Chain A
Amino acid sequence: LTATGGPPPVERSETLHERVQAAIAALAPNDLPWTWPDAEFDSMARAVFEHQFEGCAAYRHYCEGQDRSPSRVDDWRGIPAVPTEVWKTLDLCTFPKERAAASFLTSGTTVGTRGRHHLLRTDTYTASLAPWMDRFLGLRQGRRERLVVLAPSFAQDPASSLSFMLQWAVDARGDEASDFFWSERGPEIGAAAAALREAAAERVPVVILGTARALQALWEQVLRATGPGIGGGGRRGGSGGAGSGVAAARRCPILLPEGSRAMETGGFKGAAASLGRDEFYAALSAGLGLPPHAVVSEYGMTELGSQGWQPGFLMARDETARDRFEHACCVARDLGFDAADLVGIPRLFAFPPWCRVAAADSQSLELLPEGRRGLLRFWDLSNVDSILAVQTADEGVVLPEGLGVLMFGRAPSAVPRGCSLAVDEILRGIGPRGREGAP
């Protein structure tokens, strides 16, 4: 027993992994519930929290400073969340990080150190990602499909949680011709386009998976191949922009067979600069001969073992899902938010029952009622040996009844300045900044 009377950390961890995996596995693959009863989630969340409180001294100290402990939280919402910024400076795990089976790092696209997420074991991570990916991307156990991946394989980037997920998809759901089209230089667009053309010729449906940036590269190269004046680089709404790009893409020779779809992830920060998100989706679907609902976005982050998916492809195949997410769009509209894109596809994200989301007020950091815009906070049971409660810098609205989450992207990092010194920059040796506040 530990000082607080619980089982030793390793035993506790194993028990929790088994419990979480069993809870996920108990669900019928094709009939996953959208939410779990609150009491069920709460019971598991408390158990995971207790494990993390006991096993991670830094987190325990933090919680105690907040006057929180496993016996002093009303429910799972009271479990203290750790902002993603802190994951950059601390190793938040219940075990010595040297024992990690995998250590995922954030992409490091922003200034500063990279956040890290250490996993003692990866099977719960896989158990979490698999059913939701299957459901929203139309994959299925026992069926092998052609996967064309525009991202590094796990061997190429063992620190990438995205690569881990995509590697699982290729290994578990891909046919023999499935592959990663990536090199040290980035996406291998030419080879990927050849693979797509081959699949089109063979009438083999394809699942394209890639980052927004890589898919943009694919789109641009496809468009360039169709002739001059295509993708004229116009900005959103400007002349020669999205409209002409989409029209041109329709002349693209790669018309993928029915049943093909594409997954985009990673967001549009720094990518797809010449098109807005909706226009890019429209251009991509037209350029590859995909119906609009077959371009699906995934929301994932290094600090979370679970992912959110957009439901367009699922809705086209599942009447219950269609009713649910059409209802979600109506609810969002009643709340003053537009959840549908230019062609009416819901662009909200659905998270699995073992990962709950709430929005926090940006001023008080208190949780907001559903339907209010705020900073998204997650409680992910698949984060067994790290921290299950994660505070993000992403803004969104959590719809009532677990209907989904509207995402508004990353909150900007710049705040207004006066004449105060940028102390952190001085201490980092960067020197006083010359941007805001400058004459």
Chain B
Amino acid sequence: VSRWLPGAGAAADRPLPRPGEDEARGLLSEPDEALATDARGEAGGAEPPLPLALRLCAEALAAAGPSLRRLPLGVRAAAIARVSRSWRDPRDPFRREAIERLPGECGLSPEMVAWGMDRAWEEVEERALLDWWRRQGPDGLDATGAPDGAGPPPTAGPPPLSAHVWAGNVFVSGLPPVLASLLAGVPAVVKAPSRHPSFAALLARSFALHAPELGPCLGAAAWPRSDEGSTAALLEGADRVFAWGDDASVAALRDRTAADRASARRFYGFSHRYSIAVATRAGLAEAVADPRHSALEGLALDALAWDGGGCLSPRWAFVEGSPDDAQRLARLLCDVLPAVAARLPAGQPADPAPAAAAAAAGVARAAWLAHAGFAGWSRGGSGWGVAAVAPQGADALSQPALASAPGRCVPCVAVPGLEPIRALLAPLGPRLQGMALLCAADERRAREAHARALLEPLGLSRIAPPGRLQTPPLSWEHDGVRILAAAAAAAADSR
């Protein structure tokens, strides 16, 4: 299990080698054999057990918090932007190690890992960070200048420290709140999933190396959910929590933090969600007229990104019109999907028997393509599938061809207009996240407004043109949460 916990002894408190110095060794390899530990720190001895290490780390980060907050905002933004640039640099050892490690951990292809990192970091520039602060930062703080000195006395309760509980194999999904936290001057500790430990640890190490002026500001470790002692240690040291996971896991964490009334914790939970694509009549007509329309490739990209496993991955492409129109879009997608799939190949499930595990995706895709083929029309290729299915009845999404579409597959569903979409999606509750809208340029504003009015009650929080759905801006109010405002809230009182 990889960890990087400043203040907890061992490697995290040692000077880091410069890039290139330890490339041969691997950045997550501990420099000293004696420092290697398992999840409970039992194998080594130089590092304390994980719960204790987390408490020590929380204390160290909280103690370093005032120094972090005394830095001018511009300095913090510049440091974060520098880290961002390093992650986009193909020579960066952290990036290289992530591309080496994450495919095995997350079941994604190396190309997808690289793509995911590029997209996650591409907007993280100094100007964008400051703009984010202007939009969501606390009132009264100077976005560009330095706070003068010590600031107001700390409020009651624990010092600002954010805890981030990550989940799933979309490894960058929890990144924005971490960046928001650091931008706000709030140190952060990340709990990574035990099956996907590397990105969080590499992230923490990259901040230590590339942004030393921030001081100790970010810790990371991975442990399984069953290690409740470590989770308790994480939560008790934090005054705000950002948690990802399925409904039950997020609810359990929420209850856990709510039960501890000793501190005024803020909890932000982000449960599993789904997204959709919608093609309007005019949008489809444009695509039919120009099969090289960039929106088609964009739609394919949205569908294949993260192997279709992200909350912003469209599960259905609703097509305004007849079943023939749905099939028209499906056939157009058939023309662009192979190239996009070749650029972003499917990953292999992280399993002890990779060949057998890889077959799982094929089995699911074969079954779905056949279900869809019996119900409508389908086509599949290497690592992709597309179908046109006419919904039958109010519970149409329960049809195997529609309910069970595996990742990297796009069911195109004919609907007479936007209104029926709401009825079709209603059984899923308010779990809709985003929508890729393929429409004509001159109707976009009206269509987006209409979609918001219809679908915001179902949770919709993002509408984007095809190809941009999976790359939300920093200022995206994920599940309605103003991420930077949430990360910065109490820090404004305690800088």
Evaluate contact between B360 and A411: CB separation under 8 angstroms: yes
- Whether, in the assembled complex, B173 has its beta carbon less than 8 Å from a beta carbon of chain A, the answer is yes
Q: Which of B107, B346, B428 contacts A363 (CB 8 A)?
A: B346
Evaluate contact between B168 and A419: CB separation under 8 angstroms: yes
- Whether, in the assembled complex, B146 has its beta carbon less than 8 Å from a beta carbon of chain A, the answer is no
Q: Which residues of A contact B274 (CB under 8 A)?
A: 420-421, 423
- Whether, in the assembled complex, A108 has its beta carbon less than 8 Å from a beta carbon of chain B, the answer is no
Compute how far the CA of A437 lies from the CA of B107 in the bound complex, rounded to whole angstroms: 13
Compute how far the CA of A413 lies from the CA of B364 in the bound complex, rounded to whole angstroms: 8
Say whether, besides A422-B272, A427-B428, A361 and B253 are in contact (CB < 8 Å): no
CB distance from A230 to the nearest CB of B (A): 30
Residue among A61, A395, A412, A418 with max Cβ neighbours from chain B (10 Å): A418
Q: Which residues of A contact B369 (CB under 8 A)?
A: 365
- Whether, in the assembled complex, B371 has its beta carbon less than 8 Å from a beta carbon of chain A, the answer is yes
Stretch of A78-86, A97-105, A349-357 on the interface side: A78-86
- Whether, in the assembled complex, A126 has its beta carbon less than 8 Å from a beta carbon of chain B, the answer is no
Compute how far the CA of A27 lies from the CA of B374 in the bound complex, rounded to whole angstroms: 37
Compute how far the CA of A419 lies from the CA of B376 in the bound complex, rounded to whole angstroms: 29
Evaluate contact between B346 and A416: CB separation under 8 angstroms: no
Compute how far the CA of A6 lies from the CA of B27 in the bound complex, rounded to whole angstroms: 70
Q: Which residues of A contact B365 (CB under 8 A)?
A: 365
Say whether, besides A86-B367, A391-B370, A437-B167, A375 and B362 are in contact (CB < 8 Å): yes
Main secondary structure of the interface of A (DSSP, over half): loop
Residue among A65, A413, A431, A439 with max Cβ neighbours from chain B (10 Å): A439
- Whether, in the assembled complex, A424 has its beta carbon less than 8 Å from a beta carbon of chain B, the answer is yes
Stretch of B3-11, B82-90, B395-403 on the interface side: B395-403
Q: Which residues of A contact B362 (CB under 8 A)?
A: 360-363, 365, 375, 411
Evaluate contact between B246 and A420: CB separation under 8 angstroms: no
Compute how far the CA of A361 lies from the CA of B429 in the bound complex, rounded to whole angstroms: 37
Compute how far the CA of A374 lies from the CA of B397 in the bound complex, rounded to whole angstroms: 31
Evaluate contact between B311 and A419: CB separation under 8 angstroms: yes
Evaluate contact between A86 and B374: CB separation under 8 angstroms: yes
Evaluate contact between B377 and A438: CB separation under 8 angstroms: no
CB distance from B367 to the nearest CB of A (A): 4
Residue of B nearest to A61 (CB): B374
CB distance from A113 to the nearest CB of B (A): 10
- Whether, in the assembled complex, B431 has its beta carbon less than 8 Å from a beta carbon of chain A, the answer is yes
Q: Which of B167, B272, B367, B371 contacts A432 (CB 8 A)?
A: B272
Q: Which residues of A contact B246 (CB under 8 A)?
A: 422, 432-434, 437-438
Say whether, besides A432-B271, A439-B253, A426 and B428 are in contact (CB < 8 Å): yes
Evaluate contact between B374 and A414: CB separation under 8 angstroms: no
Residue among B272, B356, B359 with max Cβ neighbours from chain A (10 Å): B359
Q: Which residues of A contact B108 (CB under 8 A)?
A: 416
Residue of B nearest to A373 (CB): B355
Say whether, besides A434-B248, A438-B167, A414 and B310 are in contact (CB < 8 Å): no
Instruction: List A125-173 residues whose CB lies under 8 Å from chain B.
Output: none
Compute how far the CA of A291 lies from the CA of B330 in the bound complex, rounded to whole angstroms: 58
Q: Which residues of B contact A414 (CB under 8 A)?
A: 349, 360
Residue of A nearest to B314 (CB): A420
Please tell me the size bucket of the interface on A. 35 or more
Q: Which of B311, B355, B359 contacts A420 (CB 8 A)?
A: B311
- Whether, in the assembled complex, B247 has its beta carbon less than 8 Å from a beta carbon of chain A, the answer is yes
Q: Which residues of B contact A109 (CB under 8 A)?
A: none
Residue of B nearest to A434 (CB): B248
Compute how far the CA of A225 lies from the CA of B243 in the bound complex, rounded to whole angstroms: 55
CB distance from B287 to the nearest CB of A (A): 21
Q: Which residues of B contact A439 (CB under 8 A)?
A: 165-167, 191, 193, 225, 243-245, 249-250, 253
- Whether, in the assembled complex, B404 has its beta carbon less than 8 Å from a beta carbon of chain A, the answer is yes
CB distance from B113 to the nearest CB of A (A): 12
Instruction: List A48-93 residues whose CB lies under 8 Å from chain B.
Output: 58-59, 61-62, 65-66, 82-86, 89-90
Q: Which residues of A contact B431 (CB under 8 A)?
A: 421, 426
Stretch of B130-138, B198-206, B379-387 on the interface side: B379-387
Evaluate contact between A412 and B360: CB separation under 8 angstroms: yes
CB distance from B200 to the nearest CB of A (A): 12
Residue among A86, A89, A364, A423 with max Cβ neighbours from chain B (10 Å): A423
Q: Which of B245, B351, B363, B374 contacts A362 (CB 8 A)?
A: B363
Evaluate contact between A421 and B272: CB separation under 8 angstroms: yes
Evaluate contact between B247 and A431: CB separation under 8 angstroms: yes
Evaluate contact between B310 and A418: CB separation under 8 angstroms: yes
- Whether, in the assembled complex, A26 has its beta carbon less than 8 Å from a beta carbon of chain B, the answer is no
- Whether, in the assembled complex, B169 has its beta carbon less than 8 Å from a beta carbon of chain A, the answer is yes
CB distance from A85 to the nearest CB of B (A): 4
Compute how far the CA of A361 lies from the CA of B383 in the bound complex, rounded to whole angstroms: 10
Compute how far the CA of A417 lies from the CA of B363 in the bound complex, rounded to whole angstroms: 16
Residue of A nearest to B341 (CB): A363
Evaluate contact between A364 and B244: CB separation under 8 angstroms: no
- Whether, in the assembled complex, A409 has its beta carbon less than 8 Å from a beta carbon of chain B, the answer is yes
CB distance from A100 to the nearest CB of B (A): 20
Q: Which residues of B contact A82 (CB under 8 A)?
A: 370
Q: Which residues of B contact A408 (CB under 8 A)?
A: 355-356
Q: Which residues of A contact B247 (CB under 8 A)?
A: 431-432, 434
Mask, B299-338, CB within 8 Å of A = 1, is: 0000000111111010100000000000000000000000
CB distance from B473 to the nearest CB of A (A): 18
- Whether, in the assembled complex, B273 has its beta carbon less than 8 Å from a beta carbon of chain A, the answer is yes
Q: Which residues of B contact A438 (CB under 8 A)?
A: 167, 225, 245-246, 248-249
Instruction: List A392-423 residues whose CB lies under 8 Å from chain B.
Output: 393, 395, 408-409, 411-423
Q: Which of B243, B357, B367, B428 contacts A423 (CB 8 A)?
A: B428
Q: Which residues of B contact A62 (CB under 8 A)?
A: 370, 373-374
B interface residues (Cβ-Cβ under 8 A, vs A): 106-108, 165-170, 173, 191, 193, 225, 243-250, 253, 270-274, 306-311, 313, 315, 346-347, 349-351, 355-367, 369-371, 373-374, 376-378, 380-383, 395, 397-398, 400, 403-404, 406-407, 427-429, 431
21 residue pairs from A and B, CB less than 8 Å apart: A89-B371, A361-B382, A364-B380, A365-B380, A375-B362, A375-B366, A393-B363, A395-B356, A412-B351, A418-B170, A419-B168, A419-B170, A419-B270, A419-B311, A426-B431, A427-B398, A431-B248, A432-B272, A437-B167, A437-B193, A437-B245
Closest 9 CB pairs of A and B: A362-B362, A418-B309, A416-B107, A411-B359, A85-B367, A418-B170, A364-B382, A437-B168, A419-B311
Q: A416-B107, A426-B431 are in contact. List 16 more A-B contacts (CB 8 A).
A: A365-B380, A366-B382, A375-B362, A395-B359, A412-B359, A413-B360, A416-B350, A417-B309, A418-B173, A421-B272, A423-B397, A424-B403, A434-B248, A436-B168, A439-B167, A439-B193
